[in-house]
């Protein structure tokens, strides 16, 4: 933690520090303020009001009433569980698969770019198109997937209409689209790892598995924790894909928090309730995020 810059307290260093701040931080802070401050404040304020976009103004002040109502709504509380299930499954699976692919790619030189370019293509497709295309592929009656399965004697499934399969299908499609992200980030970390420790380990006769767990994992820990954290946040907010694939159905099996937020905000125009839901989601994520930050810092120091 202690750097030379911090040691001496004389004023020239302090002005240098201030200059650095202006150069390094100020532009970002201004940009962030510009785009984030007002929307965040707006949603925080409206979460305490009976704000409906149909009517002018903020509406009646409701205190915590929005929050209480939302928490009393069993459809919402059930969706919290679905969201957690979805997030944990996709993040873990995407991470594991992404790590394996990145390790394999890091082991080859020939055609690495070729494999990599093809693997990241699914990421380039906008989620709405991904949803619509997979609806074509998975069409229970007219889809290629069920047809191919029937060729090998497996009877087709109603992938998106069967309440026991729908969530799994959505997860699968999410994985298809987002594994490339994991590969991209993890591979970027792997190629920057120093080579000396591995050479030393090889001389000591360490096996590949040993050097993976003793060298790669600790050195990659900061990257791992960041991708897990950032991906968890985006997964908790997943909305487009579910909106196109199932709209929360069949029944309520794929209703996630952001679907409720969407419904309240854009369908019912109840922006007050939607904001309250968003801030509840935030309360859910902040402790996890804080924990992550603590863990990743203790690892690096």
Partner 1 sequence: MKTNKKRALAMLLALVMLFSLALTGCGGETAQKDGEQSSTGKTTLNILMEDVPDTSCVTALLDQFEAETGIKVNVESVNYSSMHEKILTQMLSSTNSYDIIVVDCYWVGEFAAAGWMAPLDSYIEESGFDTSVYIDSMMDMVGQVDGTTYMLPFYNYMLSLVYRTDVWEEQGLEIPDNMEDYVEACKQITANTSGSMAGAVMQGLRPDPIAMEWCNYLFSCGGDFYDENGNNIINNEAGVKALELYVDNMTNSAPAGAAGFGFDEAFNVMAQGNAASYVTYNWMLPRLENTDESSVAGLCDITPMPGGVSLNAGWGWAIPHNAADKDASWKFLQWVESFDVCKARAIAGGSPTRSDVMSDAEVLEACPYLETVKTIMEDSKMIPIMEDAPQLIEVLGRELSEAVAGAKTPQEALDTLAKEMANMK
Partner 2 sequence: MYKRQTKLEKVLTYIALTVIMLFFLLPLLWILRTSLITKVEAYKIPPNWMASLTFDNYISIFKDNTFGQYFFNSFFIALASTVVSVLLGAMSAYWIVRCARRSDRMKLAILVTQMIPPVVMVIPLSLIVKGLGLDDSYIALIVAYLSFNLPYVIWMLFSHYESIPRELDDACAVDGCTRAQTYFKVVLPLVMPGIMSTAVYSFIVSWNEFMFALNMTGLKTRTLPVAIASLDTQQGVMIAELCAATIVAILPVIFLSIFIKKYLVQGLTFGSVK
Q: How far is the CB of 76 from partner 2 (least distance, A)?
A: 14
What mask of x and - would describe binding to partner 1 in positions 94 to 113, judged by CB under 8 A? --------------------
CA-CA distance, 39 to 222, in Å (whole number)?
Answer: 31
Query: Per-residue x/- marks for partner 1, 246-275, CB under 8 A?
Result: xxxxxxxx---------x--xxxx------
Cβ at position 288, least distance to partner 1 in Å? 26
Eight-state DSSP code of residue 107: H
**CA 275 to CA 43: how far, in whole Å?**
5
Phi (first) and psi of residue 253, to 5 degrees? -70, -25
If binding is defined by CB under 8 A, does position 65 make contact with partner 1?
A: no
Residue 159, binding choice from partner 2, partner 1, none, Cβ under 5 to 8 Å by partner class? partner 1
> Shortest Cβ distance from residue 85 to partner 2 (Å)?
18
Under the criterion CB under 8 A, does residue 145 sit at the interface with partner 1?
A: no
Please choose, from the candidates 121, 119, 48, the residue with its C-alpha nearest in 3D space to the C-alpha of residue 273.
48
Tell which one of 91, 99, 160, 277 touches partner 1 (CB under 8 A): 160
Buried b (16+ CB within 10 A) or exposed e, 161-178: eeeebbbebbbbbbbebb
Q: Encode burial over 34-71: b for 16+ CB neighbours within 10 A, e otherwise.
A: eeeeeeeeebeebbbbbbbeeeeebbeebeebbbeebe
Instruction: Give which of partner 1, partner 2, none residue 200 binds (C-beta under 5 to 8 Å, depending on kind).
Output: none
Taking residues 280 to 299 in sequence order and writing x for each that binds partner 1 by CB under 8 A, - otherwise, the string is --------------------
Q: CA-to-CA distance for 198 and 210, rounded, in angstroms?
A: 10
Residues in contact with partner 1 by CB under 8 A are 33, 37-38, 41-42, 45-46, 51, 53-58, 75, 135, 139-142, 156-163, 166, 243, 246-253, 263, 266-269
């Amino acid at each position: 933690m202690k750097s030379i810059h911090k040691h001496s307290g004389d004023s020239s260093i302090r002005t240098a520090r201030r200059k650095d701040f202006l150069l390094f931080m100020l532009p970002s802070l201004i940009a962030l303020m510009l785009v984030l401050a007002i929307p965040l404040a707006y949603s925080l304020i409206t979460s305490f009001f009976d704000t409906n976009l149909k009517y002018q103004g903020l509406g009646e002040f409701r205190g915590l009433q929005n929050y209480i109502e939302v928490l009393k709504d069993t459809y919402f509380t059930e969706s919290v569980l679905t969201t957690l299930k979805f997030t944990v499954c996709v993040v873990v699976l995407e991470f594991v698969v992404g790590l394996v692919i990145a390790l394999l790619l890091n082991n080859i030189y020939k055609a690495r770019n070729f494999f990599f370019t093809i693997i990241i293509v699914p990421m380039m497709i906008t989620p709405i198109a991904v949803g619509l295309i997979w609806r074509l592929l998975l069409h229970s009656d007219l889809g290629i997937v069920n047809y191919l399965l029937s060729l090998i004697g497996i009877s087709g499934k109603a992938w998106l209409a069967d309440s026991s399969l729908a969530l799994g299908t959505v997860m699968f499609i999410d994985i298809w689209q987002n594994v490339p992200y994991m590969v991209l980030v993890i591979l970027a970390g792997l190629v920057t790892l120093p080579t000396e420790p591995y050479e030393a380990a090889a001389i000591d006769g360490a096996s590949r598995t040993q050097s993976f767990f003793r060298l790669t994992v600790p050195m990659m820990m900061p990257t791992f924790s960041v991708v897990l954290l950032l991906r968890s946040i985006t997964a908790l907010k997943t909305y487009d894909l579910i909106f196109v694939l199932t709209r929360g159905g069949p029944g309520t099996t794929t209703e996630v928090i952001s679907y409720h937020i969407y419904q309240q905000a854009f369908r019912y125009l109840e922006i007050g309730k939607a904001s309250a839901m968003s801030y509840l989601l935030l309360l859910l994520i902040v402790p996890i995020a804080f924990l992550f930050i603590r863990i990743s810092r203790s690892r690096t120091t």
